[in-house]
Structure 1
Amino acid sequence: MYFKLSGIVGAIAILLSSGSAFTGGVGAAIAEGVGVVIDQDGQRYITVGHDKLGNSVALDTESIKGTTYKLYGMYGDGIFETTFDASCTESRLFRNRIAIYGSEGQLLEEDKEKGEIPFVANSSPGKGMQIVCQKIGASGW
């Protein structure tokens, strides 16, 4: 199932599902806009992909709740945050929310429309799903 998105949020959704995104310096932006808390392994953000310019898309390991997780990347002067829910047993992936935050951390745009996106193993959402499914011990991951 595919759904219509508009503007910047739509572009981010399309690029994330195809394996790339507009990002750059994601670590610094996340540290400034969201705040960094390190997990027990010493790494809160794990790079799960890159855009065509080589900029990172990061999985927030602290955001993982069951099979729900968040990816972050740079968008202009701010960051985008995309929330996904994985169905590990069915190898299905669902986008729950996309938000764009300005350089001061203020919410600029939000899309809460939910829908299934294709699971692409080498995309940023796909790599995030693999980490999440392994973390919960799902069979086959």
Structure 2
Amino acid sequence: MSFKLGGIVGAIAILLNSGAAFAEGVGVAIAENAQRYVTVGHDKLGNDIALDTTSIKGTTYKLYGIYGDGIFETTFDASCTESRLFLNRIAIYGSEGELLQEDKETGEIPFVADSSPGKGMQFVCEKIGARGW
């Protein structure tokens, strides 16, 4: 099953806004794969921030959240054995899936266990069976 990026943006927005993805179209497909997105936190407005479990490649993972009428996508890389976290990319997509802004500046960020990136890292490190997680 494949969707154009706009459909994915809509599906993620539905999931993040309502906590349930039982809307028509793409929302139904997301509901069928409810375990794909795991809530790892909330923004200042109370909107969910979700980990896309299908995006996990080794220790690289993506978080999604609501940004205006669209979504943001943030890509991280975790060093589980050292408890270090690296930001790889931030992208903001409009409601139709168009890329509005992208920042590919990379660098280490502090690992904070209670933050959304920290909870995402914990999920990833546990999934791969890293020692100490």
TM normalised by structure 1 equals: 0.73
Greater Rg over alpha carbons, structure: 2
Q: Distance in 2 between matches of 1:53 and 1:112?
A: 26
Q: In 1, distance between residues paired with 2:116 and 2:53?
A: 14
Write out aligned runs for 1:36-55 (5 A): 36=30, 42-55=34-47
Query: Which residue identity lines up with residue 122 of structure 1 in the other structure?
Result: D
2:87 maps to a residue whose letter is R
1:62 to 33, 54, 60: 54
Q: Distance in 2 between matches of 1:37 and 1:112?
A: 31
Q: Structure 1 regions of 5+ residues with no counterpart?
A: 1-23
> Alpha-carbon deviations, 1:54-82, whole Å to 9, x = none?
21000000000000000000000000000
Q: 1:70/1:37 Cα in 2 relative to 1: closer, same or farther (>3 Å)?
A: farther
Q: Percent identity?
A: 79
Q: Which residue of structure 2 lines up, in the alignment, with residue 77 of structure 1?
A: 69
Q: Structure 2: how far apart are the matches of 1:73 and 1:90?
A: 27
The 1:26–1:116 alpha-carbon spacing in structure 2 relative to 1, beyond 3 Å, is farther
Across the aligned residues of Structure 1 and Structure 2, the Cα RMSD in angstroms comes to: 2.3
Answer 1 or 2: higher relative contact order, Cα 8 Å, separation at least 6.
1
Q: Which has the higher helix share?
A: 2
Say whether 1:139 aligns with 2:131: yes
Q: For residues 60 and 134 of structure 1, do their structure 2 counterparts lie closer, same or farther at Cα, with a shift above 3 Å needed?
A: same
Q: How far did 1:52 drift? A: 2.8
Poorly superposed stretches of 4+, deviation over 3 Å: 35-39
- Would you say 1:86 and 2:78 are equivalent positions? yes
Deviation at 1:26, TM superposition (A): 7.4
Deviations 1:98-133 (A, max 9, x none): 000000000000000100000000000000000000
Q: CA deviation at 1:89?
A: 0.3
Code of the residue aligned with 1:118 in structure 2: it is P
With normalisation by structure 2, the TM-score equals: 0.77
Q: Distance in 2 between matches of 1:69 and 1:26?
A: 23
Following TM superposition, by how much is the alpha carbon of 1:38 offset from its aligned partner in structure 2, in angstroms?
Answer: 5.7
- Structure-1 separation of matches of 2:96 and 2:108: 31
